[in-house]
Amino acid sequence: MKTLWQNCHAATMAQGVYSIIEDAAIVTQGEHIQWIGPRAELPVGDYPAINDLKGAWVTPGLIDCHTHAVFGGNRSGEFEQRLQGVSYADIAAAGGGIASTVRATRAASEDELFASAAKRLKSLMRDGVTTVEIKSGYGLDLTSERKMLRVIRRLGAELPVSVRSTCLAAHALPPEYKDRADDYIEHICAEMLPALAAEGLMDAVDAFCEYLAFSPEQVERVFLTAQRLGLPVKLHAEQLSSLHGSSLAARYQALSADHLEFMTENDAKAMAESGTVAVLLPGAFYFLRETQLPPMDALRKHGVKIAVASDLNPGTSPALSLRLMLNMACTCLRLTPEEALAGATIHAAQALGMAQTHGSLEAGKVADFVAWHIDRPADLSYWLGGDLEKRVVRHGVEID
Ligand code: DI6
Ligand code: FE
């Protein structure tokens, strides 16, 4: 069914850059955008359905390209400990941190994990999110990683949001493999990834490259396996220290390298050359009271595409609003509101390998967009949370 959406302005992100059309019109045909441009140039024709957007600003549907939204348990006690001065690394060393979420996630049923994650996703969706990536990584054995990935697939099937699934088996060392990190990596490569790939449960493979997680050599083995299975890779890199995981990611044409506070200019150059997106995670930066800023000047100078995501997870970023992340990207990480919006739309799509179909308002792309009742696009980075009046269209159909 052909539908005309008019009486609006559009921040299109066409061709990957921030650009606006005042007094725009959008024509959707089924799930796709058929035409977008200034209303004065609207092709003459028959529009069986016409929607008056009442002066709204239309943006692409927001894309949260890095979350750990599926998990069991709750870590607010750990938050209280950290407020008393205990560090994230100390908590992890004492068996808390990721390990405590692994225990709770292993103990939870698929239905329980689905129900708690669905609530979190609905919160993100109330903020205009139409596409979200979710990682496994709190199971750390084949059965529990499979359980998480099945929940991730089910979220995409049952909620009106597009879900990308990423396997993060190399997130932390499970207790069964204490002091045997190489053996766990071997298990991931020989057993877990081949089995999960055969079941079609993942769209990408991620790892945590850090002194308290896995070394670049170990990550490389995971990347080689992913490559052999035909899956794109991503990497948590340079969050707490500089191991040049982002350069390693670039060598494997990773879709993205994420966090990046401790990356160097050479890492930025390597990422620019491979087209690897820099995913910045201001929620984790803020929640850990990090003071080391990602090297924004180097990223800009070398033309690395920058995305912004929530990192929604129970330990370092219990963030339920992507718009709040846009604000923090500006206030804490010094992005402009235009960069932040590109970071949650077109560059986020690229970080998921979806830029051909999502992330901008262009003819031929999927009709995922939000009509916001705001004065200017910068308002999306300005308000701290809250509920902005808006209409959300996904696959050409308005959802509530
Ligand atoms: N980096 C993070 O910030 C999260 N995972 C990661 O690799 C933290 C996950 C957690 O603490 O539960
Ligand atoms: Fe993360």
> Nearest to residue 131, comparing CAs of 378, 395, 400, 375?
395
pLDDT at position 92: 85
CB of 36 closer than 8 Å to CB of 70: no
**Is the same domain home to 379 and 328?**
no
H runs (alpha helix) in 263-382: 265-274, 282-287, 296-301, 322-331, 337-343, 346-351, 379-382
pLDDT per position as a tens digit, 231-272: 999 999 999 999 999 999 999 999 999 999 999 999 999 999
Residue 304 located in a structural domain: yes
Inform me whether the pLDDT recorded for 366 exceeds 90: yes
**Is the same domain home to 10 and 79?**
no
pLDDT at position 330: 98
**Is the same domain home to 374 and 337?**
no
Domain limits for position 78: 62-351
CA-CA distance, 93 to 80, in Å (whole number)? Answer: 17
With a pLDDT cut of 90, the percent of the chain lying above it is 97
Distance 368 CA to ligand 1 centre (A): 29
Distance 262 CA to ligand 2 centre (A): 15
C-alpha dihedral, 320 to 84 to 91 to 236, nearest 10°: 40
| Nearest alpha carbon, ligand 1 atom 9 | 315
**Is the same domain home to 227 and 331?**
yes
pLDDT at position 150: 98
CB-count burial class (<10 Å; 0-12, 13-18, 19+) for 179: exposed
311 Cβ inside 6 Å of ligand 1: yes
Rg of the chain over CA atoms, in angstroms?
21
pTM of the model: 0.98
| Nearest alpha carbon, ligand 1 atom 10 | 315
Phi, psi of 30 (to 5 degrees): 60, -130
**Is the same domain home to 41 and 182?**
no
pLDDT per position as a tens digit, 51-65: 999 999 999 999 999
**Is the same domain home to 67 and 51?**
no
pLDDT at position 274: 98
Banded pLDDT at 385 (limits 50, 70, 90): confident
With a pLDDT cut of 70, the percent of the chain lying above it is 100
pLDDT per position as a tens digit, 324-347: 999 999 999 999 999 999 999 999
105 Cβ inside 6 Å of ligand 1: no
